[in-house]
């Protein structure tokens, strides 16, 4: 297994370097995405959660500073539209809200790789097991695909996750990739004024 070079402080760089972030941020602004919620993206996340049978589903746009879940489905509903992401469900675990730091979660890996990522049990992968979402939110499985538009930029991801290990299998991978392709088609219509 290979790791990225260490940071100056000597820590492993667990979140990959994202050289495309400035171009992505500009492209998201042109498309009017990544700054506010849209009902069709929440509905898309709801549909994705249902298809995958997952408690969490997101349409995630990633800029230079943070991740923004413009479409979000959670098991507890009542999603806050603004920060903070740490509205507590109980005394120990924060809720997943609309915003997340760039070094949290697995979507930053998907956008840098430009490839889907299947993690049936994130704890099986040393690179991912130490991710803050594992401890903070209890996420143990992840399935995500990039939203690559006609310019070749990965705008973000569509993804599902669960607090239990999940055998996503080939069917899950095919579903997440087809849902990403469907959403990219809808996003590209934005330039035509949908």
Q: Kindly state whether residue 16 falls inside one of the protein's structural domains.
A: no
> Within 10 Å of residue 87's Cβ, how many Cβ atoms?
14
Distance from C-alpha of 8 to C-alpha of 10, rounded to nearest angstrom: 5
Q: Kindly state whether residue 94 falls inside one of the protein's structural domains.
A: yes
Half-sphere exposure for 76 (CA within 13 Å, toward CB): 11
Q: Most distant CA pair in the chain: distance in Å?
A: 48
Distance from C-alpha of 33 to C-alpha of 47, rounded to nearest angstrom: 20
> pTM, whole model, 2 decimals?
0.82
Number of structural domains, the chain?
A: 1
Please give the chain's pLDDT, 194 residues, in tens: 333 333 333 334 467 889 999 999 999 999 999 888 989 999 999 999 999 999 999 999 999 889 999 999 998 765 544 333 444 344 455 567 788 888 888 999 999 999 999 999 999 988 888 788 888 888 999 999 999 999 999 999 999 999 999 999 999 999 999 999 999 999 988 776 54
Check residue 176 and give its pLDDT. Answer: 97
> What CATH number did the domain enclosing 37 receive?
3.30.450.40
Q: Kindly state whether residue 15 falls inside one of the protein's structural domains.
A: no
> Within 10 Å of residue 54's Cβ, how many Cβ atoms?
23
Q: Kindly state whether residue 92 falls inside one of the protein's structural domains.
A: yes
Q: Kindly state whether residue 1 falls inside one of the protein's structural domains.
A: no
Backbone angles phi, psi at 101, to 5 degrees: -65, 155
DSSP string, 94-131: BPP-SEEETTSSSHHHHHHHTS-EEES-GGG-HHHHTS
The residue segments making up the domain with residue 65 are 21-192
DSSP SS3 for 61 = strand
Q: What is the pLDDT of residues 78-112, one digit of tens each?
A: 554 433 344 434 445 556 778 888 888 899 999 99
Distance from C-alpha of 97 to C-alpha of 115, rounded to nearest angstrom: 25
Q: Kindly state whether residue 3 falls inside one of the protein's structural domains.
A: no
Q: Kindly state whether residue 9 falls inside one of the protein's structural domains.
A: no
DSSP string, 126-156: HHHHTSHHHHHH---EEEEEEEE-TTS-EEE
Q: Kindly state whether residue 11 falls inside one of the protein's structural domains.
A: no
């Amino acid at each position: 297994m290979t790791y990225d070079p260490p940071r100056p402080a000597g820590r492993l760089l667990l979140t990959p370097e994202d050289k495309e972030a400035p171009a992505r941020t500009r492209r998201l602004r042109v498309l009017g995405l990544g700054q506010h919620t849209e009902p069709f993206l929440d509905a898309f996340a709801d549909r994705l959660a249902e298809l995958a049978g997952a408690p969490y589903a997101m349409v995630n746009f990633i800029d230079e500073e943070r991740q923004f879940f413009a479409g979000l489905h959670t098991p507890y509903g009542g999603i806050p539209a603004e920060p903070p992401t740490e509205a507590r469900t109980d005394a120990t675990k924060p809720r997943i809200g609309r915003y997340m730091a760039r070094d949290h979660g697995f979507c930053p890996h998907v956008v840098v790789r430009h490839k889907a990522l299947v993690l049936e049990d994130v704890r099986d992968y040393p690179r991912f097991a130490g991710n803050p979402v594992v401890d903070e939110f209890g996420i143990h499985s992840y399935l995500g695909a990039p939203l690559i538009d006609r310019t070749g930029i990965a705008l973000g991801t569509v993804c599902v996750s669960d607090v239990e290990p999940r055998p996503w299998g080939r069917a899950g991978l095919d579903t997440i990739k087809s849902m990403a392709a469907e959403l990219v088609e809808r996003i590209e219509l934005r330039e035509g004024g949908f």
